[in-house]
A and B are shown apart, each in its own frame.
Chain A
């Protein structure tokens, strides 16, 4: 399979392309983290994060790739690992200083959204993830989900987002996250 074919599969949202890339470059990426003081668990995590960043860029059309996929992926992976090392360094500094590590609002919100999305179910889950994660346009979502047109998707997305907001705000308010 050529690199262009892989990118075509990704642009169609074919998740088997993600599996393929994951397996193909696994030894190379894992080795990089392991060689740089990472554990197997961290290596897996970082590589998965990097691959998802790549996937997200490719699927949203943001990817301007001028090198081989492996090169590009390697640089994302390296970046992710660098960030993780910095995070660990900060965390260790905070622990040494005896400061209380406060929960990250993003982590809390992720848990809340996850529960809410499970309650929402499909098609809302798909519409919202296509819109926010894949950053697809209304007409692209209409094509993907067989809706008649972009306006139908727009209305659907609006309703789904409202339902999600209701589920989130059932237990939390804006102030809970910022105060």
Chain B
């Protein structure tokens, strides 16, 4: 083998460009020739050096990008939002057996925030971060599952979610509704955005919302009713303080997100990894998933709080 050939073989070996057969033969040769093994070790360092050189270039490119606001600012304003947002997440419709067509969810106190500190978990990555914060979050979740009534005191506010059985002659008017937060990654697909489009951070969007937060109107009570129908089409009626969800909501838990950060209260439904905006309507209206990427980002962030 000529010296040039050997170097080419080493390069191919290091960049995974060898066939399986050639690779096995070459590895056999390496094990028999200590000098070659040493040379490969050195060449591997050079190859890594070249990779790191390119990584350095890419990293400095990323460092020069303007992100709108620093993460420090983001965190700070996010905290502000969390403190000032009059958001109610009704963690409802947990399971099929808990919800029947004539069951009603009653939110007893609207001027509250449920701080759901969740960490997005990835089904595909079987990795567990065994660190304190995660454990804390897990214990929070377990606590929720144990507790007979979801009562959380956050920033002097309190939320209670209970289930009312209207027709089944329940022993008590209110029973426990166990809640579970189903953690999903934000839906990012199908959004048409151009590469040239400037990056609008969530922060900018949140800032807009913050402008009007002083005018928040708190709501006394929202009643949610499920009208079970085996139809695939999901509909709703939202009038007064009553929300009727029509369709098959038995497959997975749903959440009602009430956003009071702006003068006009906005209500959203989260169900099966989709967000739906709910507008006041006395007639049945189809649920249409939110597709606005900025609003989606905002809702994901809001929900994760």
A-B contact count (CB 8 A): 171
Per the bound structure, the CA–CA distance linking A34 and B70 in Å amounts to 13
Are A174 and B59 also in contact (CB < 8 A) when A23-B199, A79-B125 are?
Answer: no
Q: Which residues of A contact B151 (CB under 8 A)?
A: none
- CB-based contact A2/B46 at 8 Å: no
B127-162 near A? 1/0 per residue, CB < 8 Å: 101011110000000000000000000000000000
Are A114 and B38 also in contact (CB < 8 A) when A36-B131, A52-B55 are?
Answer: no
Q: Which residues of A contact B30 (CB under 8 A)?
A: none
The listed residue with most A CB atoms (<10 A of its CB), out of B54, B129, B201, B202, is B54
Q: Which residues of A contact B17 (CB under 8 A)?
A: 135, 137
- CB-based contact A36/B186 at 8 Å: no
- Residue tally, chain B, CB below 8 Å to A: 64
B6-28 near A? 1/0 per residue, CB < 8 Å: 01100100111100000000000
- CB-based contact A23/B65 at 8 Å: yes
Per the bound structure, the CA–CA distance linking A165 and B7 in Å amounts to 12
Q: Which residues of B contact A82 (CB under 8 A)?
A: 127, 129
Per the bound structure, the CA–CA distance linking A110 and B45 in Å amounts to 8
Q: Name A's interface SS.
A: helix
Asked if A66 is at the interface (CB within 8 A of a chain B CB), the reply is yes
Give chain B nearest CB distance to A41 CB in angstroms: 10
Considering the complex, which residues of chain A in the window 1-58 have a beta carbon less than 8 Å from any beta carbon of chain B? Answer: 1-3, 9, 15-20, 22-24, 26-28, 30, 32, 34-37, 40, 43-44, 48-49, 51-52, 55-56
Q: Name B's interface SS.
A: helix
Our pick among B11, B61, B129 for the contact of A81 (Cβ within 8 Å) is B129
B92-122 near A? 1/0 per residue, CB < 8 Å: 0000000000000000000000000001101
Per the bound structure, the CA–CA distance linking A75 and B120 in Å amounts to 10
Asked if A148 is at the interface (CB within 8 A of a chain B CB), the reply is no
Asked if B56 is at the interface (CB within 8 A of a chain A CB), the reply is yes
- CB-based contact A109/B46 at 8 Å: yes
- CB-based contact B124/A52 at 8 Å: no
Per the bound structure, the CA–CA distance linking A70 and B297 in Å amounts to 13
Asked if B193 is at the interface (CB within 8 A of a chain A CB), the reply is yes
Asked if A74 is at the interface (CB within 8 A of a chain B CB), the reply is yes
- Residue tally, chain A, CB below 8 Å to B: 70
Per the bound structure, the CA–CA distance linking A133 and B133 in Å amounts to 36
Per the bound structure, the CA–CA distance linking A49 and B72 in Å amounts to 20
Our pick among A23, A44, A74, A168 for the contact of B120 (Cβ within 8 Å) is A74
Asked if A150 is at the interface (CB within 8 A of a chain B CB), the reply is no
- CB-based contact A85/B42 at 8 Å: no
Q: Which residues of A contact B75 (CB under 8 A)?
A: 34
- CB-based contact B62/A158 at 8 Å: no
- CB-based contact A51/B133 at 8 Å: no
Per the bound structure, the CA–CA distance linking A23 and B254 in Å amounts to 30
Which 5 A-B pairs rank lowest in CB-CB distance, beginning with the nearest? A113-B49, A75-B125, A23-B199, A133-B54, A110-B52
Point out residues on B near A: beta carbons under 8 Å. Answer: 4, 7-8, 11, 14-17, 38-39, 41-42, 45-56, 58-59, 61-63, 65, 67, 70-72, 74-75, 119-120, 122-125, 127, 129, 131-134, 185-195, 199, 201-202, 297, 301
- 29 A-B contacts, Cβ less than 8 Å apart? A1-B194, A3-B188, A22-B65, A24-B188, A24-B199, A27-B297, A35-B119, A37-B131, A37-B132, A40-B71, A44-B63, A48-B63, A51-B62, A55-B58, A56-B51, A69-B188, A71-B123, A74-B120, A74-B185, A78-B127, A79-B127, A106-B52, A112-B49, A113-B50, A114-B56, A132-B14, A135-B15, A158-B8, A161-B11
